[in-house]
Amino acid sequence: MSMKKLKTSAYQELMKEHIYATVEYMFNHDQEFGVACDTSTVNFEPDLPKELKESLPDVTLFMLANYSFETANIDTEYISFEAGFGSENFGALVHIPLLAVKQIFVEEYPILINSASMTIVEEEPVEAIDSMAALLNNPENAKLLKKK
């Protein structure tokens, strides 16, 4: 299978459902976990101070433990939780789009790896063919038609 087929909207939706189900399972079983995600798509409320935001690596591991785990929830688009950042423990509500999740960890073990991308590759359009042209495309079918 080509990696291109893993960057379709259909595969992204499948991966999004899998991420949702995995996180929901963790919540239902009171299991703390880590989320490695692409920080370029993460939203913070209130927005992090510039120096804190710039200090985050492109892929950041957030540990949902203790207070962050207690405040965490999930909907069909985002994992959200409260967290403190920097030496001053700047508080913010973190919203991670489900498809921004790269991996989910329990302790040091990765339990989910997201192979879908945030960007959708253009799917090739399906060319419409009329039924008669499709029928005549096979020479064996041409014999079946009566000539008038």
The model's pLDDT over 103-131, given as tens digits with 9 standing for 90+, comes to 999 999 999 999 886 665 555 555 555 66
Residue 146 has pLDDT above 90, yes or no: no
- Count CB-CB contacts under 10 A for residue 53: 14
Region of 21 on the Ramachandran plot (φ > 0 left; ψ -120 to 50 alpha; else beta): alpha
Residue 49 has pLDDT above 80, yes or no: yes
Confidence (pLDDT) at 77: 95
Q: In what order do the strands lie in the sheet with 59-64?
A: 59-64, 33-38, 101-106, 109-113
Q: Which of 35-44, 47-56, 121-130 has the lowest mean pLDDT?
A: 121-130
129 contacts: CB under 8 Å, gap ≥ 6: 137
- Where is pLDDT greater, at 9 or 63? 63
42 contacts: CB under 8 Å, gap ≥ 6: 60, 94, 95, 96, 97, 100
Q: What is the mean pLDDT of residues 1-30?
A: 89
Domain edges within the chain: 3-123
Element (H, E) at 18: helix 9-28
Q: What is the mean pLDDT of residues 52-58?
A: 92
Of 44, 33, 41, the closest CA to residue 98 belongs to 41
Confidence (pLDDT) at 115: 86
Region of 67 on the Ramachandran plot (φ > 0 left; ψ -120 to 50 alpha; else beta): alpha
Distance CA 28, CA 41 (A): 26
Distance CA 61, CA 68 (A): 13
- Count CB-CB contacts under 10 A for residue 39: 17
Q: Which CATH superfamily is domain 3-123 in?
A: SspB-like (2.30.30.220)
Portion of the chain with pLDDT greater than 90, in percent: 67
> What does pTM read for this prediction?
0.77
**Which band of pLDDT confidence, cut at 50, 70 and 90, is reported for residue 55?**
very high
